[in-house]
A and B are shown apart, each in its own frame.
Chain A
Amino acid sequence: MNKLLILGAGTAGTMMANHLRPRLDAEWEISIVDQEETHYYQPGFLFLPFDIYKPKQLQKRIDKFVPAGVNLIRQGIDRIVPDKNEVVLTNGKELQYDILIIATGTKIAPQEVSGMLGPLWQKDIFDFYTFAGAKALRDKIRSWPGGKMVVHICEMPIKCPVAPLEFAFLADSFFVEKGMRDRVDLTFVTPLSGAFTKPTATEKLGHLLAEKNIRIVSDFAIERIDNENHKLVDYGGQEVDFDLLVTVPTNMGDEAIARSGIGDDLNFVPTNNATLQTTIKDNIFAIGDATNVPASKAGSVAHFESEILTENILRYVRGEPLKEEFDGHANCFVETGHGKALLIDFNYSHEPVEGTFPFPGVGPLTLLKESRMNHIGKLAFRWVYWNMLLKGRHIPFVTAQMDERGKHFRESEV
């Protein structure tokens, strides 16, 4: 009996279980380890604070998506021991594997910034990258009288890099509808050189912030939060005042990666950009937010990776060379508020550009341009996620590698 072990039953791990079970014969035992009870629709965390989604729309039982023929082991992971082809669980049990897939994702690490977990945490400082955080923020916003709202990114990389910007756009929209926008001073604080950092997006979307009256503070590398004076302080001495801080804390890979001694500074797993095999050992692969590949940490990326990783696992089993096919493809809806959204499509070498999607020249979705259709697409995606994506069904007309047709590339310079 051969053993394939998947660590993590989130978006990426669940997709791999669904892809691989029908493709590996009965000689292969497949197990997936996860201690969580609930699978969250994480893109919904963006909408929960504004009462657009209800909590129950965002959660289902984790075992509902694990296919028949795959063992779900409900335990925490203590560490991976690559030399022994073994994973040790938190209850001390040891699991042997022939092939290991690491899909342990990323988590927020608010403890990384001094003062973040101080007296204001969950009182005037909130995250929206966890279910609990998004829900607590919803309760806060419902009765918030207005003041200085700061939307803030601590450091890159973060999961879904556009989510903080979307949050700021939705906040603008929300307070306009509530008739209190004049009482809200909205500021976006980023460690990068701007809200948008790629030339085409800066050119096409730079106006959105000014239009929505959102102030931007860039190149802000946070050193600490001054709880007493409600201030963010950066290493260069810059300060930003807040009444309500919505922050995206440092994102880090799972602690089990650190305990195994295999991760980088942020516990992300060193992984080949094109094959998704780790550089730790030939029989260890990684997918999704857990890797250090320079693609966005997003469900769409995990989805495209899963198609290529499935092929590579099958090749590895047959002793064939791996395909170097993953191109960093990501495809993301970006909410811009007031019932509109953008769609962006990009990869390692191409920045997001204008055009149509998924049909070249036709659409119906427009790239890098606000439209109502894109917003409808974003809301419809929840159904696609639960019913197609997690189950490993191919999404029609959307390819794992980026399609360059129907898109307006500038002369390539990356």
Chain B
Amino acid sequence: MNFLLWGVLPYVVVAVLVGGTMWRYRYDKFGWTTRSSQLYESRLLRIGSPLFHFGILMVLFGHIGGLVIPKSWTEALGISEGLYHFNALFFGTLAGIATLGGLALLIYRRRTTGPVFMATTTNDKAMYAVLVSAIVLGLWTTLVAVGAGHEAHDYRETVSPWFRSLVTLQPDVDAMAAAPIQFHIHVLVAFLLFSMWPFTRLVHAFTAPLHYLFRPYIVYRSRDAALGAGARAPKRGWEPIGTRDNARRRK
């Protein structure tokens, strides 16, 4: 069981994530968007969205720090276990609360603003459920650690070595199996989130426009001659105008 969960499943998730992203990029570039709802509502979004996004970026950097950088490295830099732990818990809690607070505000907005709710798909709802669970569970592991103080479980002895061992294709299943239950659940939900990722609006994160900092302001491009005939093949997004009740009546 442990072998399946921590030795096989991670690779399945990576395969789905990478394969799914490639498939999506190849066949659904038109659907690759943030699907922003700012046009409908801006007031709450302007607080909630930056709170969530900056929070989640902090969470990301925190995970990289905790999972990728071995304990021996930080110790070599003279950062004591206590100092590391305090930092991780302090900023982790802060980032987690910001992320969760922002997300709560965004979901509240999504539910209460009519047009935004109308534009919410089933896919979005499922994605939100998993995303919220992953964040809540992650915050839970952090808070459990805060509560335990110096007795807290040191995930840098269990989860992190396992994570790094995945990269070398020698999964250290035992290390992960030794971690407490809250880590197990958090990681499993994260697996689910990553396997959903390519098929939800979350893909926009993969095209974060960092190259904007380096590209020239004005972009020249040659006319795409391949299509020819002064026409382009009809694409998605050309549905006729109508309200839902009109469509219902037509049936």
Whether both chains belong to one complex is answered with: no
Chain A residues in the interface with B (C-beta under 8 A)? none
Chain B residues in the interface with A (C-beta under 8 A)? none
